[in-house]
């Protein structure tokens, strides 16, 4: 068994979760914040069999594409840094961590 922890953009989370559910992956969603922009994310927790890990990651990568957005000049960038001019930043994509599960029970 593996635990897949995927941190995805909040805007991508609904589509990726719907697709994961269609493929019989059970997902727990946690609202999280982080990164350079302190923007909203969803952290997805997915426990699955070893042989289904690649399928799961494939679905996540299909629905979590990186894109650029313009951040207004008055935005605080999460580190106490303020920009006087609009900035183009990369958002989206996913950070995926796969860990071994020693024991899994559904009670």
Q: Are 56 and 48 in contact (CB under 8 A)?
A: yes
pLDDT of residue 16: 95
* Alpha carbons 75 and 3: distance in angstroms, whole number: 35
pLDDT of residue 82: 59
CATH 3.30.70.120 assigned to 2-100: yes
pLDDT of residue 93: 80
The model's pTM? 0.77
Which of 31, 27, 5, 9 lies closest to 17, judged by CA?
Answer: 27
Which of 107, 102, 5, 106 lies closest to 53, judged by CA?
Answer: 5
Mean pLDDT of the chain: 84
Q: Which residue has the tokens 């605080």?
A: 76
* Alpha carbons 101 and 72: distance in angstroms, whole number: 43
Per-domain boundaries in the chain: 2-100
Question: Which parts of the chain sit beneath pLDDT 50?
Answer: none
Give the tens place of pLDDT for each residue, 71-99: 666 555 555 555 567 776 666 688 999 99
């Amino acid at each position: 068994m593996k635990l897949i922890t995927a941190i995805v953009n909040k805007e991508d989370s609904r589509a990726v979760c719907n697709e994961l559910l269609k493929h019989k992956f059970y997902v727990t969603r946690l609202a999280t914040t982080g990164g350079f922009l302190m923007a909203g994310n969803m952290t997805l927790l997915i426990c699955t069999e070893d042989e289904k890990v690649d399928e799961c990651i494939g679905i996540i990568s299909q629905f979590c594409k990186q894109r650029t957005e313009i951040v207004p000049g008055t935005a605080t960038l999460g580190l106490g840094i303020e920009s006087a001019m609009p900035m183009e930043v990369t958002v989206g994509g996913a950070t995926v961590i796969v860990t071994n599960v020693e024991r899994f029970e559904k009670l």
